[in-house]
Structure 1
Amino acid sequence: MTDAQTETFRRSMALRFGDGPIPNLPPQGRHTLARMVARTSCRSFRSEGVDQAVLELLCAVALASPTKSDLQQRDIIIIRDSDLRTKLNALTEQDWVAQAPSFLIFCGNNRRQRQIHKWRRHPFVNDHLDAFFNTAVDAGIALSAFVTAAEAIGLGCCPVSTVRNCAAAVSDLLGLPEHVYPVAGLALGWPEAPDAEPAMRLPLRATVHVDRFSEHDLRDQVETYDQQRSERQPYAKIRGVDAFGDPSGPYTWSEDKSRQYARPERADFGRFVRDRGFSLE
């Protein structure tokens, strides 16, 4: 890695996590690590599409990622039909999603495991919360691996969690059977503009623990993070002014996130999951 690349990495780390100590890059994998630290979500794409063969290659790379006990309880649906895409775009209620050349849905799939039990004539005795949880984790791992692979070849990506706002409608459109459900969408394409500045994250000492969980000085750390982020990366829009009013001081990350979850969101998702055949006991 050149001196310029090393300096870019150090700037990205400092911007992401504040002014704490910056680890040195190891000789192996440094290009990948530097790229991952500097990554940003993309919501502005060029009009050209992404070749189907490229999408299938990225799916293969994503599905080579870790999976609980080799159960492989995650599937990817590439949306190609224009009418279906239009309906999914409307359900996400985010205009920028419609501008992405490609859209995929990552699903948790516990159905295949249950089918195998029937074929092999073994009882499926683990019909409880873990059956659902394992599929969600597997799908999340595959999504993360897909994003890393796509960005490595120059594509821009942005996960879309709002498919869970209307999980039943999305499932109907995709023909998802019992024990299969949408975890997240993914909009992707070739970026129209240069990468944006990496979004700041909480300091590592607030989220990385050694041996035991600790909340020592957590409030001070969050307040320091709030101040730094509001100065460097202020929000373009204040959430929930109608319900919570204008903030008396800077509009901070913690204010935004607490406003977001002060309103009901996906309160019916548990019922949806049970309707898909999962027991959450």
Structure 2
Amino acid sequence: MSAYAEAIERRFGDGGPSANDVEDSDFIRRVLSRKTVRQYADAVPSEALLDLLVAAALSTSAKSDFQQASILRVVDPAKRAAIGALFQSMPWIGVSPVFFVFLGDARRLQRIGELRAKPVKNGTLEGFFNATVDAALAMQTMILCAESAGLGVCPISVIRNEIDKVASILGLPDLVFPIAGLCLGYPRTEGYVSLRLPRRATTHLNRYDDAALPQAIDDYDRRRNARHAIPREQQRSNAEFGEASFYGWSEDKARQAAKAEGAAFPPYLRSHGFSFD
């Protein structure tokens, strides 16, 4: 049995490859075993550690070296409270020891063009996409580094659902937008490893092929339900779709996706510098 087998089984439980004969790496095992943490101890990580995590995040890959990620740390109690009040079902947003917001920053490159008297127009779809990917990579790098230092994290994409209010609280200018927040601190509880889709549903060889998806999803639903079933009272939109006798992950996500989220995000971007040409 490989050094990774237990972590892979806990993450996927799909009977797939378990990295036999691969040399052990503590970092890879940590990645396989990473957890979502929403309850934190009162202790605040040192400023030196937080500075280090920011430096690591900004060391990640960047499209064409444009470096279009920015990181905003929210420490003002009033601002933290104002953001937390927007999402009362997620109290960890307002009370986690540290809260970062990762920003796609298409503004900086456009300003550099102005400084150098070049016709840079970065509000295109490509500019938005590049800044989004840069910021997402930076956030994921911070997540992995924070966990390696004994911290727990929880990404917060829901802030885009209240983009106008969040942007106002944070004073975001045109061409700068949040991709997600990040709660961070020392874990009070262990957190949980989320069971991922079977790899046969998410990996492909030479060509895309999802012919086996229905069976793979049914298998995943039943294994995930056995590990952490969704309580009956947490079924979504029963008035619209009815109560399901078996409510698996796919039913939950299909119901969630049936109602579009983030409706305010596209008009916000268009009114703040993005043409998406």
Pairwise TM-score range, normalised by the shorter structure? over 0.9
- 2:242 corresponds in structure 1 to 245
- 2:220 corresponds in structure 1 to 225
The residue type paired with residue 244 of structure 1 is F
Cα distance in 2, alignment partners of residues 104 and 131 from structure 1: 23
- 1:163 corresponds in structure 2 to 159
Residue 86 (1) aligns with residue 94 (2): no
Which of 262, 266, 269 is the matching residue for 1:270? 266
The residue type paired with residue 162 of structure 1 is V
Deviation at 1:195, TM superposition (A): 4.0
Moved more, 121-130 or 258-267: 121-130
Cα distance in 1, alignment partners of residues 38 and 191 from structure 2: 10
Contact 1:44–1:99 (8 Å) recurs in 2: no
- 2:118 corresponds in structure 1 to 122
Structure 1 runs (4+) deviating above 6 angstroms are none
Contact 1:181–1:276 (8 Å) recurs in 2: no
Listed one character per residue, the Cα deviations across residues 130-176 of structure 1 (whole Å, up to 9, x for unaligned) are 01111111110000000000000000000001110111111111111
Contact 2:109–2:122 (8 Å) recurs in 1: no
Closer, same or farther in 2 for the Cα pair 1:88/1:125, shift >3 Å? Answer: closer
**What is the DSSP-based 3-state SS (H/G/I as helix, E as strand, rest coil) of the residue aligned with 1:166?**
helix
Alpha carbon RMSD of aligned pairs, Å? 1.7
- 1:254 corresponds in structure 2 to 250
**What is the DSSP-based 3-state SS (H/G/I as helix, E as strand, rest coil) of the residue aligned with 1:182?**
strand
**What is the DSSP-based 3-state SS (H/G/I as helix, E as strand, rest coil) of the residue aligned with 1:142?**
helix
**What is the DSSP-based 3-state SS (H/G/I as helix, E as strand, rest coil) of the residue aligned with 1:169?**
helix
- 2:52 corresponds in structure 1 to 57
Q: TM-score, normalised by structure 2?
A: 0.93
Cα distance in 2, alignment partners of residues 155 and 66 from structure 1: 23
Contact 2:38–2:153 (8 Å) recurs in 1: yes
Closer, same or farther in 2 for the Cα pair 1:242/1:53, shift >3 Å? Answer: farther
**What is the DSSP-based 3-state SS (H/G/I as helix, E as strand, rest coil) of the residue aligned with 2:23?**
coil
Any unmatched runs of 5+ in structure 2?
none
Aligned runs of 1:3-42 on 2, under 5 Å?
A: 6=3, 9-17=4-12, 18-24=14-20, 26-27=22-23, 30-42=25-37
Any unmatched runs of 5+ in structure 1?
none
Deviation at 1:53, TM superposition (A): 2.2
Deviation at 1:95, TM superposition (A): 1.7
Q: What is the percent sequence identity of the aligned residues?
A: 37
Cα distance in 2, alignment partners of residues 25 and 99 from structure 1: 44
Report how many aligned residue pairs link the two structures. 273
Which of 60, 67, 90 is the matching residue for 2:62? 67
- 1:136 corresponds in structure 2 to 132
